[in-house]
A and B are shown apart, each in its own frame.
Chain A
């Protein structure tokens, strides 16, 4: 692991971070936007920043996208 990776893992990133509750409120929009091919990192940057910094919410994002994708496929 490089110093930079270590610093990011331990100290997170500098950008505006929507926090867990703010990201939860945007997560459905984020996931649907992603599945529709929109640039959600640009459209919802504070949520994207939070998902980089919070492994628990990032895992929830994976779960929600799996559910949304299964519904689309089903």
Chain B
């Protein structure tokens, strides 16, 4: 495997330096480093899966083992692909763990998603539920006005993709990784869509006087 040119990280601790040198080596030395990396991220994947197990009690046994193994496989690919991005600002192992955690979380969420249909902007139940979640009686009228304005803004300001993502993730709490899976996209790309949508909505609500500038801080 060809793993990027050596950009020398700053002050690396000896253990992190050994990881980088092994992964950038060739032949048997690199193969051993990759094997050790797989063991490391597989242990991290199992640990993270155990930590989240109460959220996904229906996934266990060999199914969970397979999921962790796939997560570890993908984490090794991600680590080796992004090795040049490792700046030595943390220990190498912590940096590698982050990829294992990400892969496990994405896979658990997608595996556990059974609801099938993601709510759309046309669902009145969505807006009723959000309105029902607003609390204090004295702010009820203001909340209702704000939500009516938000609903208009969602209909009028957003592109269809922004609307789809905002309604699913922000209004209905569908996991962003599930939405990304359904759209054949990534968490990062879907978050960008959500971020842009939120920005448009905040600006519209500010223009209409429903929000103070910078209120959502």
Contacts and interface: CB of A to CB of B under 8 A. Distances in A.
Given A3-B146, A28-B98, A56-B176, A11 B202 contact: yes
A64 B94 contact: yes
B198 interface: yes
B70 interface: no
A50 to B, nearest CB: 8
Nearest to B131: A6
A8 B188 contact: no
Contacts of B101: 60, 63-64, 67
Contact of A67 (B44, B188, B214): B44
Given A7-B146, A56-B187, A29 B89 contact: yes
B61 interface: no
Contact of A10 (B104, B171, B186, B217): B171
A32 B202 contact: no
A13 interface: yes
Interface string B78-103: 00001001000111011101110110
Interface in A18-63: 19-21, 24-29, 31-32, 53-57, 59-60, 63
B209 to A, nearest CB: 14
Interface in B32-74: 44, 47-48, 51-52
Contacts of B188: 19-21, 24
19 contacts: A3-B143, A7-B146, A7-B215, A8-B216, A10-B130, A10-B171, A10-B198, A11-B205, A20-B187, A26-B89, A27-B98, A55-B176, A56-B187, A60-B98, A63-B52, A64-B98, A67-B48, A67-B94, A70-B47
